[in-house]
Amino acid sequence: MLAGVLAFSGPAPAQERPGFGLDEVVARARAMAAAPYAAPASNLPDVFSKMQFLDYQKMQPRRDRFAWSELGTPFKLAFYHQGMQFNTPVRISEIVDDAVHEIPYDPGRFDFGDLHFDREQTSKLGWAGFRVMYPVNQPGKDDEIMSVLGASYFRVVGKGQIYGLSGRGLGIDTGLSIPEEFPAFREFWIRRPGPGDKSLVFYALLDSPRATGAYEFTLTPGSDTLLDVKARIFRRAGTTPEVLGIAPLTSMFLFGPNQPPPTYNFRPAIHDSNGLAIHTGAGEWIWRPLNNPPMVALSSFAVEDPKGFGLLQRGRAFSRYEDLKDRYDLRPSAWIEPRNDWGKGHVRLVEIPTADETNDNIVAFWSPETLPEVGHAMQFDYRIHWTMDEPAIMKDGPAHVWQTLRSTGEIYQSNLIRAADGTLAFLVDFKGEGLRDLPGNAPVVARISANDNVEIVGTVLQPNPAIQGWRLTYRVKVKDSTKASELRAALELEGRTFSETWSFQLPPLPASMPPKDRERYLNLLR
């Protein structure tokens, strides 16, 4: 049974820290950044370190041992057990009346299923992370709405959503030829919620060989669950990251209409996200459909003081996915909305090859152009919207890209039979309030461009009454398949940009790719 604040195995000393909050965590992060990095050591016995994923999943929190069950608050707290790569304990404390109490590890909070091991082997273990429960779908039903597990990863859902893409606290050297560094949350402080609270506040301390960080998170469940983040990042003395990734998002794209699968599949698409959206500080909206490239591909968009960016799942109809098991139609988009000035930098997109949907192969983040001196905190405040209402992100904005389709280019012959013309065609559908009421003869034009590796063969722009929008057919030829091909398009009306900018990359093929595989891949493009 829970007693008092939490069911402790013994008295927990209260640390006298009046008004504990972000400032205390910032002081810890600043002091750590001034000292050499000390990597935590694994404390896992073999039975846990060699565990497979299916066995790790068997270690589930007991619902009758959720923390805060007797406090009358709609929030509940559960924990993750150590195992597999989660091999170092994470310290978790609770803030009660501004005093900090560590929550001691207790194996009694878990149901271990049919796992067999000496229970004494858990005596020196700890927590790997935690879960937040809240009745977001119906009163009285505890739904898991946030998961915090591994490095600085977290996942969040709102009403009617299921887990998909992940957020991270920080990325370092993501997508470069040098090894990526994965900063990790080492300690958490969770403020005990009251009966009437609609939000949960917690703090996190991040550590890494080249950076430390202090974070304040405010989680507000709802149809769109909101996660407000205050991040204070420090460079570690004597080190300089090549690329610092702020507000990273990690997702999966296997295939979709803009990149069909190499083999037949009844699913039209498998992805947690299908595009990167950016709202620049200058007011431009950009839509970049995602790829599953043959080798790692990097894209960068110069943005000063971004108004927003995110990895989105555009298109919510079940027919777009046809997957009863994984329900990609219910996976949320994540939209980052900066709340202070971020200065000059780039939104970066990293696309990594994957052969199946079990690997997250997409990363997007903002990278500052310059880093401050050691000892000075970089301050980034932002809100993450976990949403399935993607059109609302562009409310009062221009028309958006409804879908991108890839096809073999074709022409009508004199006998009215269509024939391939040796080109690659993209069909881009634009939709939005401004387009819906336009007459079919409105003087809408497409502004198109491409880099030097692309020959634009022809374009056709026409109304698409099926979606009350417009369709652009864009036929191209790639000159050198070992080089990246960049295409852009936007709609204009009477000299004014009327849509977001569609920005697409055909990733390069490796020069070392065997001719047979190259021809097979090029056939997919055609």
pLDDT at 373 (0 to 100): 86
Whether the per-residue pLDDT at 15 is higher than 50: the answer is no
Residue 90 carries which side chain, given as an amino acid letter?
A: V
* Same domain for 164 and 53: no
pLDDT digits (tens, 9 = 90+) for 78-112: 999 999 999 999 999 999 998 999 999 999 999 99
Each residue of 119-161: pLDDT tens digit?
A: 888 888 999 999 999 999 999 999 999 999 999 999 999 999 9
Question: Looking at per-residue confidence, does 436 or 182 come out higher?
Answer: 182
Q: Indicate whether 14 pLDDT > 70.
A: no
Q: What CATH number is associated with residue 159?
A: 2.70.98.10
At residue 432, the pLDDT reads: 92
> Which pLDDT value is given to residue 337?
98
Q: Are residues 391 and 404 in the same domain?
A: no
What is the spatial distance between Cα 500 and Cα 288, in angstroms, rounded to a whole number?
Answer: 10
In this structure, the answer to whether residues 390 and 518 fall within a common structural domain is no
State the CATH number of the domain containing residue 491: 2.60.40.10
pLDDT at 412: 84
- Last residue of a domain, which of 346, 367, 395? 395
Report if residue 132 sits inside a domain. no
Q: Which of 395, 415, 441 is the last residue of a domain?
A: 395
Residue 8's pLDDT is 29
- Are residue 271 and residue 347 in the same domain, yes or no? yes
Instruction: Examine the domain organization and report whether 381 and 238 are in the same domain.
Output: yes
pLDDT of residue 7: 33
Check if the beta carbon of residue 208 is closer than 8 Å to that of residue 37. Answer: yes
What's the pLDDT tens digit per position in 425-439? 999 999 998 898 888
DSSP 434-452: HHHT--TT--EEEEEEE-T
HSE, CB side, 13 Å, CA atoms: give it for residue 391. Answer: 10
Same domain, 367 and 407: no
**What does the pLDDT read at residue 522?**
59
For residues 525 and 220, give the distance between their C-alpha atoms in angstroms, rounded to a whole number.
43
What pLDDT was estimated at residue 10? 37
Residue 428 resides in a domain: yes
117, 185: one domain: no
Q: What is the mean pLDDT of residues 63-83?
A: 96
Helix, strand or coil, per DSSP, at residue 408: strand
Question: What is the pLDDT confidence band of residue 524, given thresholds at 50, 70 and 90?
Answer: low
Same domain assignment for residues 352 and 290: yes
Q: Are 48 and 128 in contact (CB under 8 A)?
A: no
- pLDDT of 436-453, one tens digit each? 888 888 899 999 999 999
Residues 371 and 344 in one domain: yes
pLDDT at 20 over 80: yes
Establish if 36 belongs to a structural domain.
no
pLDDT digits (tens, 9 = 90+) for 304-361: 999 999 999 999 999 999 999 999 999 999 999 999 999 999 999 999 999 999 999 9
Dihedral of CA 261/265/271/276: which sign? positive
Q: Is residue 34 part of a domain?
A: no
Considering the entire predicted model, what is its pTM? 0.93
Average pLDDT over residues 419-424: 90
Domain count, the chain: 3
Are residues 348 and 431 part of one domain? no
Question: Phi and psi dihedrals of 284, rounded to 5?
Answer: -75, 140
- 364/301 Cα distance (integer angstroms): 11
pLDDT for the residue numbered 441: 86
Could you say which of 395, 430, 465 is where a domain stops? 395
Domain membership flag for residue 347 = yes
Per-chain mean pLDDT for the chain: 92
Q: Is there a domain that residue 431 lies in?
A: yes
Return all residues near 306 (Cβ < 8 A) that are at least 6 apart: 278, 279, 280, 281, 338, 342, 345, 347, 366
Q: Looking at this protein, which amino acid is placed at residue 321?
A: Y
Least confident among 1-15, 51-65, 159-173: 1-15
Say whether pLDDT at 12 is over 70. no
Residue 392's contacts (CB-CB under 8 Å, 6 or more residues apart) are none
Contact 128, 89 (CB under 8 A): yes
Range of the domain at 164: 146-395
Per-residue pLDDT tens over the stretch 237-292: 999 999 999 999 999 999 999 999 988 999 999 999 999 999 999 999 999 999 99
pLDDT recorded at residue 498: 92
- The reply to whether 497 falls in a domain is yes
Torsions phi, psi of 17, nearest 5? -130, 80
pLDDT over 70 at 9, yes or no: no
Provide the token pair at 285: 């909206």
521 pLDDT tier (thresholds 50, 70, 90):
low
In a domain, 32, yes or no: no
Asked which of 175-184, 339-348, 396-405, 505-514 is least confident by mean pLDDT, the reply is 505-514
**Which DSSP string do the residues of 288-299 spell out, in sequence order?**
EE----SS-EEE
Question: What's the mean pLDDT in 163-171?
Answer: 98
- Of the chain, the percentage scoring pLDDT greater than 70 comes to 94
As given in the structure block, the two tokens for residue 501 are 């900018």
Pair 153, 253 in one domain? yes
Residue 231: pLDDT band (50, 70, 90) is very high
Interval 373-397: pLDDT, tens: 898 999 999 999 999 999 999 988 9
Same domain, residue pair 384 and 431: no
